[in-house]
Amino acid sequence: MATTPPVIQAKISSDPVKLPVVPLVVAVALGVVIAVATVGGVVYYLLRSGKFPGQSAAALVPQPIVKTHAVVLEPLLVNLADSSGNAYLRVAITLQVADPIEHPKENKEAEAKVPSKGGDAAVRDTALAVLGHQNSDVLLASDGKEHLKRELKGAIAERNPEIKVTDVFFTEFLIQR
């Protein structure tokens, strides 16, 4: 004789389960705020450290606009320091020079610091000294002119600190061997 187990019928209630709504909304909102703050902090750190691909921190910081003017030097003819002694360089140089910052109270002093023709002579002398030590093989190399530009900027800054050269342009460049 087999007996069947009694069937227990559970009473399914039609009443919905009541969840605490206010604490749940607060927890979700707090989670969203923490996630946004964390992502924002990471992005800020990556941008400031320069590790963010795409933009550097320098691109985000506005650079001050520096007013410049061009100083055109007459063409220079220089014997190069080659072993043969027969090589020379004819070069015309234009310098991009930063204008001095004018202060309203020191306006007369600022005018005195603007390079004059005497300043051009000092720059020409510096350029002749730098160019006279160059070798034609070095100047004709792929990065020879760029290296010469860096040397000229450094020498002018060292020998003429009142003249702020921002860039050097060669408008004529001829090497004769």
What are the structural domains of the chain?
A: 21-60 (no CATH), 68-176 (3.30.479.30)
Q: Which two tokens stand for residue 130?
A: 């730098």
CA angle 171-172-177, nearest 5°?
A: 155
CA dihedral of residues 111, 112, 116, 118 (deg, nearest 10): 180
Q: Which two tokens stand for residue 161?
A: 């600190």
CB 92 within 8 A of CB 170: yes
Say what the pLDDT of residue 99 is.
Answer: 81
3-state secondary structure of 103: coil
- The count of residues in the chain is 177
3-state secondary structure of 68: strand
Say what the pLDDT of residue 108 is.
Answer: 46
Q: DSSP for 75-91?
A: PEEEE---SSS--EEEE
Q: Which two tokens stand for residue 104?
A: 């309203």
Say what the pLDDT of residue 109 is.
Answer: 46
Query: Distance (Å, rounded) from C-alpha 165 to C-alpha 93?
Result: 12
* pLDDT < 70 stretches in the chain: 1-2, 6-16, 52-63, 101-119
Half-sphere CA count of 6, side-chain side, radius 13 A: 3
Q: What is the DSSP letter of 161?
A: T
Q: What are phi and psi of 5, to 5 degrees?
A: -70, 145
Nearest Cα neighbor of 139 from 93, 95, 87, 96 is 87
